[in-house]
Every structure is written in C-alpha cells, then in structure tokens.
Structure 1
C-alpha cells in the first residue's frame, strides 16, 4: 500500500516536470526563434537591433527606478516650515525699516506649501503620468488597470489635486480684497499652468505634433507662486486673511475630500477582489496624496489666518484636525487590498482610508461651523 502511494506521487511529480518543460518550451520559442534570426543577420542590423534593445532596457530601468523610489517623501514635512507661533498673518505688515521706510509683510504659508508640493512632484521626483513608458502602458494596457508601477503616479495626482484646488482659491478669494479687486497676475498664471493636462509628453496625437510636456507647465506655476509670495513679502501684493475666506477655503477642502470619499465607497462596495483588485491601489494612493497635500495646506492656513484662529479660539480644534490628517498618513500598506468589510482573510484598505477621510472631513466641518457663529 505504501509503495503504491510513493509510486503515485513520483508519477505525479514526473508529470508535473514534463508539463513545466513543455510550458517553458512554449513560452521560450519566440525568443529562440528571435535568437536564430538575429544570428543570421549582418553586423549592421545586429548592432542596430542590439542598440534598440539596450535603449528599451535603459528606459524601463529608469522607469522602474522612478516609480519605486520616492524622493523627499516625509509624512512630517510640515515641521520643516516652523510655522508655530509665527506671530503674523499672511499679508499683515510686520515693520517699516530704514530711512526709506521699506515695509515688510507676512508671507503666505499656503502659497509656499503649494509651490513646494509642486516642486516635490516635478523636480525632486519625475512626473510619472506624462512619462512615455507610462503612457504606452503594459503591452497596451493602461498601467492604472494593472497592479504595477502606478502607485506613485496616483499619489502625485492626489497631491496635485490639492494644489489645483488651492490655486483656484488663491485667485478667486485669498489673493484679492473681498474678491472684487483685480486678479493677481502671478496667481492667475499659476492657476492656468497647474490646471494643464497631467499626461502631456513632448509629442501627441490629439492634436498631432510636438507639445510642451506637463512638468514644464508645473515648473512655471512654481515660479509664479513664489513670485507672488516675494511681492507679498514686500507688501506689493494682497492676501485677504478674513474669516469668511477661511470658511470658504475649508468648505472647498471638505467638498474635495467628500468627493474622494464617495469614490472610495463606490469601489469598496462594488468590487471585493481583495489583493486582486487592480484599481484599488489607484484609488487608495490618490486619496493618500490628497491627505498628504491638504495636511500641509491646513497647517499653512493656520499660520496665514493666525489672527482669525486666535480670535475664535480654534487652536485646540485645529490641532485635533491636523492630528487626524497625520494619523491617516501612517497607513502605507505594501499591497493595497479591497476585501469585504466583514471578511477575515483579505483586509479592506479602501474602507479604512475612507474612514480617515470622513473623520478629517468631520473636523473640517466643525471648524467651519465655529468660524460661522
């Protein structure tokens, strides 16, 4: 009996080995045929083919490096600004010094953070979404539809969403007196450039012809944002740090996060493939990028609206809200899973991220209600 069992398992192992050999042979025959074809060609053609292969290997090596290495990523990046107790709101005159009485006004921390986040996206790191190999996809399949090489791109788009939203508020309200004065030209340029398509490369089909790539537009936006802040520091620009502008800014942030929460909920409720949901990581890292960006924006807003926060005694509630943002940034799973909420094998990272977003949004709504009393 035991001998029969041993023979059976040996037979199964031999069968498995034979199947594997055939499978590898079937998978390898195109490469074998290509090798034979290559060996029969002339040295000019072989050199050309080898150069093309090396070029693609180099491009994919660079692509792999840029998508996997996150330069400058730091969930505690707000500490570097040292905004605690700055003592002056954005646009508020600090002093008049020298015989000429040159004035100095408070810089906008919101504008600094917006410029720095964009710099982090396109200068400290490569902008993944407009890279050629990202646009080509995986054998024609969009990288967002695969579990590979798209996490950083989604994160960057989430961060960029916060800058886009903030740029609109800077132009429409914060960089004008009561929203009725002339639009600041630097802020207008920044908004136009940061709103540019996220996936433009040096050449496009629609319209056909050469193009300016996305990172170039975003770098121009950085220059415009910093130019505005330099003029603001010289008291040559306006930052309207009123309570109603802060209320509107918090409303816009809360609404933006609410939209993302709805996207997470839809994916979590209708797709429960666990680790095999290839779109779950896109949704997760986009939301993470938004929280990463808005964490800095909220921290900066407290400094820019310092007088308003102090007058309304918002310090404790504001700190709690920032703590909620920071807590959400601790969720960095190696593999994003979209399992059932009642499941016990595969976790549900989308539902977890949605919970943190709703908790943050609830705090923002509470801040807004206190300000509106």
Structure 2
C-alpha cells in the first residue's frame, strides 16, 4: 500500500537530483572549457593569463578585506578628547603668564571633523572609489546587492555629517556676524569635501584622468588642521554666538529629518525582510550620519561652552548625546526590513528611524530654547 507513495517520492528526489546536477554542470562548464583551452596554449600565452588571474584574485582579496574590516570603528572615540575638561569656548584667548605669546582655544569641532575624515580615508580605504567597487558584481552596482556595501554606506553617512559641518563652519561659525571675510583654509576644505564621492584615477564622464576622491579628502584634513593652527595662534576667528549655534543645530536637525524620511519610505514600500537588498545601505548610511553627528555635537558642547551655560542648555544637550549613544548601540548582524511587529524578520529601518526622530526632537527643542 505504501509502495506507490515511496515510488512517488523516489521519482521526486531523482528529479531534484537531476536538476541540481544540470545546474552544477551549467555552472562548471565554462570553467572546464576555459581549462581545456588554457591547457592547450603555449607558455607565452599561459604565463600572462596566469599573472592576470593571480593579480585579479589579489585585488579581490584586498577589496573584500577592506570592505569587511572596519579599522578604528568606535562610536565613543570622542571620549579620548576629554572635552568635559575644557572650560573655554573656541577662539577665546587663554590666560597666559606675563610676556608669553598669546594663544587661543582651538576648535574641537574642527579637530573632530578632521579625525572623522582621517578614519574614512587613511585608517580605512575609501570604498566608494575603489575600482572593484565601481565595477560592481558582474556589472550590478554593489549597492543593489546584499554583499560588501555596508562599509561604503557607513562612510558616506559619516561624510554627509562632515560635509554639512564644513559648510556651516565657512558660512556661519567662523564669521563675525556674517560680515568678516571667509577663512581661506576652511573654504578650501569645504570645496574639497564637496568633491564627487566615487572618483577613481580615471573616469568615463568626463573621459580622462581624475584626482581620486581620497586624495581630495586628505588635502581637506590638512586645511582643517591649518585653520586650527591659525585659531590657536589667535590669527583666526571662531564666533561662538547663540544665533550661530541656533543655525548649526537647525541645519543638523534638517539633515537628520531628511534621512528619517528616506528610512520611512524604504520601510513602507519595500518591506521584504532579509530580502530587501537596499535596506542595509539605508541603515548604515543613517548609522554613519549619527556616528559623525554624535562626535561633532559632542565637540559643539565644548566649543560653545559659554552659550550652553548662559542658556542653561547643558542638561538637554547631555540628554541629546545620550539619545545618540542609544541609537549607535543598535548594531544588528543582518539588516532586516520586515514588518514593524515582526519577530523572525523585524524592521531595523523603523528602529533606526525612531532613534533619529528622538534625536531630532531634542535638537528642535534646543533650537526653540536658543530662539527665546
């Protein structure tokens, strides 16, 4: 009585086995054909091909290593600066002994911004402009796959925070009531950081040689350090007025609001759980942005120490930084864009969006307090 059932399942499993065999044969055939062709060639042909394949394997090994190893990743790296020990706002003259050279307080914002760039392009490879990243996976953009793109998205998120900060440094924070001349070092840094994020040594549009993105960003680090050297020697301005802080906080809040909207759109329209291949890009971009802004706003607390004391902003500022820390503690191994009440496939985009809105809400409140 069971024989027909057993026979049925035997036929099913045999069919599945034949199917797997055909798939494997289809996958292996090009390599077997290439091996046969290669074996029949002379050494003059085989040696260059072998050298090319070895070089290609080496390049891919280096590429995979750089995308998977996150050197110096530490959401709390800002603690090394011991900013809580500072009691003088940026640009103010330090007390000095009689006859000693004048010195002023350097900007923590500028120092931290330079370190964020340094982490992106010196301690790590800048993934977005690596040749193999630009070539993609068999012509498919790595951002459209679930592989090897998380670090690139994180770096671009950090870079978004850095770009916004350098813009505000030039336009607002170092200009005395907006009427003084633009600082040349900061203007140069801003210009270099607006450079295209994915440029390699050669491009097709426009066609010809290019300056690679990491080179421009490294030069921006030098410009930022040069500004702080000027500031420390009292040869540059840093205008720590309340209205300048208001503008900066407003810009950061707007930047985070835009990211929250991107996360919301992706979570609502592409809720495919682990199978949403762009969910990890969105998550790690947002994470990188929060990573950068957490360090920068920690530095703002030191640079605008006097304003925060005068407006009694320190308690809410500290609470805002704690909200950043809570968001940066969310580090899932696999990013899922599932149902918001999902168990097996949760929605990490909604979780990150929630934390971003909490941070943004505090920033809006800070702005309102300053504006009173």
Contact map agreement 1:175 1:187 (CA 8 A) in 2 = no
Cα RMSD (Å): 1.3
For residues 326-337 of structure 1, the aligned pairs below 5 Å read: 326-337=325-336
Q: 2:41 matched to which residue of 1?
A: 41
Give yes or no for the alignment of 1:118 onto 2:112: no
Q: In 1, distance between residues paired with 2:163 and 2:283?
A: 19
Q: In 1, distance between residues paired with 2:203 and 2:19?
A: 46
For residues 231-242 of structure 1, the aligned pairs below 5 Å read: 231-242=230-241
TM-superposed deviation, 1:8: 4.2
Q: In 2, distance between residues paired with 1:86 and 1:288?
A: 28
Deviations 1:132-178 (A, max 9, x none): 00111111111111111110000000000101000011101111111
TM-superposed deviation, 1:7: 4.5
Contact map agreement 1:75 1:329 (CA 8 A) in 2 = yes
Equivalent position SS for 1:84: helix
Equivalent position SS for 2:28: helix
For residues 216-235 of structure 1, the aligned pairs below 5 Å read: 216-235=215-234
Q: 1:312 matched to which residue of 2?
A: 311
Q: In 1, distance between residues paired with 2:166 and 2:290?
A: 17
Q: In 1, distance between residues paired with 2:360 and 2:15?
A: 59
Deviations 1:67-90 (A, max 9, x none): 000000001111111000311100
Q: 2:167 matched to which residue of 1?
A: 168
For residues 1-373 of structure 1, the aligned pairs below 5 Å read: 1-2=1-2, 4-97=4-97, 99=99, 101-373=100-372
**Is 343-352 or 5-14 further displaced after alignment?**
5-14
Deviations 1:282-323 (A, max 9, x none): 111110000000000110000000001111111111110000
Q: In 2, distance between residues paired with 1:286 and 1:13?
A: 45
TM-superposed deviation, 1:22: 2.1
Equivalent position SS for 1:340: coil
Question: What TM-score, normalized by structure 1, do the two folds share?
Answer: 0.97
TM-superposed deviation, 1:15: 3.2
Q: In 1, distance between residues paired with 2:192 and 2:23?
A: 52
Equivalent position SS for 2:239: coil
TM-superposed deviation, 1:10: 4.0
TM-superposed deviation, 1:346: 1.5
Contact map agreement 1:97 1:103 (CA 8 A) in 2 = no
Q: In 1, distance between residues paired with 2:233 and 2:292?
A: 27
Count of paired positions: 372
Instruction: Note the residue ranges of structure 2 that are not aligned, 5 or more in a row.
Output: none
Deviations 1:199-226 (A, max 9, x none): 1100011111111100000000000001
Q: In 1, distance between residues paired with 2:343 and 2:291?
A: 29
Q: In 2, distance between residues paired with 1:226 and 1:70?
A: 24
Equivalent position SS for 2:346: coil
TM-superposed deviation, 1:96: 3.2
Q: In 1, distance between residues paired with 2:15 and 2:192?
A: 62
TM-superposed deviation, 1:344: 4.1
Question: What TM-score, normalized by structure 2, do the two folds share?
Answer: 0.97
**Is 183-192 or 309-318 further displaced after alignment?**
309-318
Q: In 2, distance between residues paired with 1:286 and 1:67?
A: 15
Equivalent position SS for 1:139: coil
Q: In 1, distance between residues paired with 2:283 and 2:277?
A: 11
**Is 266-275 or 297-306 further displaced after alignment?**
266-275
Q: In 1, distance between residues paired with 2:71 and 2:29?
A: 41
Contact map agreement 1:111 1:226 (CA 8 A) in 2 = yes
